[in-house]
Amino acid sequence: MKSLWKKLISVTLVLSLLVPVYVMADAAPGDVVITLGENLSETQKQSLLSEMGATDEDQIIYVTNAEEHQYLGNYISASRIGTRALSSSKITLREEGAGLTVQANNIDWVSEEMYANALITAGVEDADIYVTAPIKVSGTAALTGLIKAYEVAAEVVIPEEQKQIANEEMVRTGELSESIGVEEATELMNRIKEEIANNAVETEDDLRELIRRIAAELGVTLTDEELDGLVSLFMRMKDMNIDWNQVQNQISKVRDNLGDFLNREETQGFIRSLLDLLSRLIDSLRSLFSS
C-alpha cells in the first residue's frame, strides 16, 4: 500500500509554493522537451528515447555534468553527484490549472514527491514529468535537466536563486527521508508551508519554533543540524517575495486533485486489481499455514 500511496501522491501533488517567473509567450499544452544526459552512450540514448516515447517533433536538449555540479555542489557531496550526466527526462506541458504529475524510473534516492516539491519551488507548474536513467542512480541531477527543459518548453526564464533553492529543498528533503522516512519528510515540508501560508513568520526564532511544533505534531524527531538546515532554507524562501495566499490555494488544489484521481474509473480498476491480488495472496498463505 505504501507504493500505491506514493504513486497517488506523486500523480496529484501540486505543491504550495509559487514564485514569480518571467513568461515570454506562445508555449502550448502538449509541447514536449526531452533532456538527455551528455555522457549517455548512443545505445543508451536510443533506449531512453524509446522508453520516453520520443517523436521526431520533440525537442531534445542535453545536460552536462558541469551543470549538475553548478546547481547541486553547495548542498550535496561531489561523489553523490558523480562525474557523468546520465539522468534524463521528458516534460509535457498541460493546460493551466492541471498541476504536476511525476513518474520516475531507475531513481533510488529522490522520490517522485521530492521532484514535485522542488519543481514547484522553482516555478514549474502544469506539466507531466517523467524521469529516467539507463541504470539505478540517485536522481539528484535530474532536477537540473527538468528545470532546463521547463524553461525551454514554457518559454520562461527562472531566476538563478530560485533554481538554487529548489535544489536545496530537494536535497534537504532527501536527507530527512533517510532519517524519518520519505512520506514523513514530504509531509513535514508541506505542513511548514501551510503554516507559513496561514500565519506569516517574521523572525528566525518564530520559524524555528514553528518547525519544532509541526515536527512534534507529526511525531518526528529532528536533530539540531536538520532543524538548522530547515530554518535556513525557509528563511531564504521567506525573502523571495512569495505570494503566500496563493500557497494556500495550491494546497487546496492538491487535495481536490487527489480526490478526483481516486474517483477515476482507471484508478478504481487499479485499486480493485491490487485488492484482488492481495486477496489471492492471503488465500494462498491461509492454505499454506492450514496444511
* Mean pLDDT along residues 147-175: 92
CA-to-CA distance for 186 and 181, rounded, in angstroms?
Answer: 9
pLDDT value at 175 more than 70: yes
Q: What is the DSSP string of 37-49?
A: ETT--HHHHHHHH
pLDDT value at 197 more than 50: yes
Which of 3-17, 45-59, 108-122, 167-181 shows the lowest per-residue confidence on average (mean pLDDT)? Answer: 3-17
- State whether 27 and 155 are in the same domain: yes
The pLDDT, as a whole number, for residue 41 is 97
pLDDT value at 9 more than 70: no
Residue 169 lies in a domain: no
244-263 and 2-12 are packed helices; what angle lies between their axes, rounded to 10 degrees? 130
Residue 15 lies in a domain: yes
Shortest CA distance to 105 belongs to which of 120, 89, 83, 122?
89
- State whether 48 and 105 are in the same domain: yes
With a CB cutoff of 8 Å and minimum separation 6, the contacts of 201 are 207, 210, 234, 238
Q: Which of 225, 245, 265 is the endpoint of a domain? A: 245
In the chain, what's the furthest Cα-to-Cα distance? 70
Residue 188 lies in a domain: yes
The pLDDT, as a whole number, for residue 243 is 58
pLDDT value at 136 more than 60: yes
Chain mean pLDDT for the chain: 80
Domain of residue 154, residue span: 8-164
In the chain, % of residues over pLDDT 90 = 53
Residue 1 lies in a domain: no
- State whether 94 and 150 are in the same domain: yes
- Residue 121: phi, psi to the nearest 5? -60, -35
In the chain, % of residues over pLDDT 70 = 74
More confident residue, 42 or 276: 42
| Cross-strand pairs, 91 | 33, 129
CA-to-CA distance for 9 and 183, rounded, in angstroms?
Answer: 10
Rounded alpha-carbon distances, angstroms, from residue 193 to 104, 114, 172, 213: 25, 14, 15, 13
Residue 28 lies in a domain: yes
The pLDDT, as a whole number, for residue 15 is 36
Residue 278 lies in a domain: no
Q: Which of 112, 140, 164 is the endpoint of a domain? A: 164
- State whether 145 and 229 are in the same domain: no
- State whether 156 and 201 are in the same domain: no
Which ranges constitute the DSSP H helices of the chain? Answer: 2-12, 42-51, 65-72, 78-81, 112-121, 142-154, 160-180, 182-198, 204-217, 224-238, 244-263, 265-290
- State whether 108 and 234 are in the same domain: no
Residue 190 lies in a domain: yes
- State whether 133 and 60 are in the same domain: yes
CA-to-CA distance for 87 and 176, rounded, in angstroms?
Answer: 22
- Total structural domains within the chain: 2
DSSP three-state, residue 127: strand
- State whether 60 and 87 are in the same domain: yes
CA-to-CA distance for 135 and 132, rounded, in angstroms?
Answer: 9
Strands 100-104 and 127-132 turn out to be parallel
Q: Which of 230, 245, 260 is the endpoint of a domain? A: 245
Encode pLDDT of 211-267 as tens digits.
999 999 999 999 999 999 999 999 988 777 655 555 454 445 544 555 555 555 554
- State whether 30 and 159 are in the same domain: yes
Task: Tell me the residue length of the chain.
Answer: 291
The pLDDT, as a whole number, for residue 22 is 39
- Give the containing element (helix H, strand E) for 21: none
- State whether 27 and 111 are in the same domain: yes
The pLDDT, as a whole number, for residue 242 is 59
The pLDDT, as a whole number, for residue 60 is 97
Residue 56 lies in a domain: yes
- State whether 23 and 130 are in the same domain: yes
The pLDDT, as a whole number, for residue 194 is 82
- State whether 185 and 217 are in the same domain: yes
CA-to-CA distance for 26 and 202, rounded, in angstroms?
Answer: 39
Encode pLDDT of 29-75 as tens digits.
999 999 999 999 999 999 999 999 999 999 999 999 999 999 999 98
